[in-house]
Chains A and B, each alone.
Chain A
């Protein structure tokens, strides 16, 4: 199973870009990278996912390296409401289905 490594915490100034890294060096060719976030006491919220190419949606951008061993989630203009724990997840494939494994994540603090 591919595992992920993220820094435990990061700070970012309000209005600046927040760049959250994730290492997944054992990822296999058919596994996607997903990003979720969890704002205090709420259920996790889906942000974005990708396989090989960079992806962008209304919330964020996902940059995946060419060797796919790492990725970066970019919040282009961080606001105080983006303060949350961010989870990088590599989808595990088993015989029946595909489970999501949430690690400890990165606690992002957006500072005024």
Chain B
């Protein structure tokens, strides 16, 4: 099992460009999450999906959209990238939303110039 995979690993964008970060899990988990981590700080939740077909805002959703494509895949889209969105993005999944431990992917390092 690969666990949680993310693509790409690195990305550089110019201000105003758009892109989609991909995440997939092969653990048959129902819940998936997107976090961002800025230098020297903890993780902040952007969006989560409790189950296939549902998505909800987390702590810092502005400037992002998400799609729960199917049970395996949860994508994060930046429609018009801004320098403030320079960060490392982590995708995670858990068996259920109700407090089960979360398993994290390796992260995508995004720089917006």
Q: Smallest CB–CB gap between A27 and chain B, Å?
A: 14
Q: Which of A98, A102, A103 contacts B35 (CB 8 A)?
A: A102
B62 on the interface (CB 8 Å rule)?
Answer: no
Query: Which B residues are CB-close (under 8 A) to A42?
Result: 106-107
- B35: nearest chain-A partner, CB-CB: A102
B42 touches A105 (CB 8 A): yes
| Given known A43-B104, A44-B90, A46-B101, contact A87–B42 (CB-CB < 8 A) | yes
B48 touches A34 (CB 8 A): no
B1 on the interface (CB 8 Å rule)?
Answer: no
Interface size class of B (residues with CB under 8 A): 20 to 34
Q: Which of B44, B56, B107 contacts A102 (CB 8 A)?
A: B44
B19 on the interface (CB 8 Å rule)?
Answer: no
A68 on the interface (CB 8 Å rule)?
Answer: no
A101 on the interface (CB 8 Å rule)?
Answer: yes
CA distance A99 to B50 in the complex (A): 10
B42 touches A45 (CB 8 A): no
B112 on the interface (CB 8 Å rule)?
Answer: no
Most buried by B among A34, A87, A91, A97: A97
A41 touches B107 (CB 8 A): yes
| Given known A87-B42, A97-B50, A99-B48, contact A43–B90 (CB-CB < 8 A) | yes
B101 touches A43 (CB 8 A): no
- A residues contacting B by CB (< 8 A) are 32, 34, 41-46, 49, 87, 91, 96-105
- B residues contacting A by CB (< 8 A) are 4, 31, 33, 35, 40-45, 48, 50, 56, 58-59, 90, 92, 97-99, 101-107
A selection of 20 A-B contacts at a CB cut-off of 8 Å is A32-B99, A34-B101, A41-B107, A42-B106, A43-B4, A44-B92, A44-B104, A45-B104, A49-B99, A49-B101, A91-B99, A96-B50, A97-B98, A99-B45, A100-B45, A102-B43, A102-B44, A103-B42, A104-B41, A105-B42
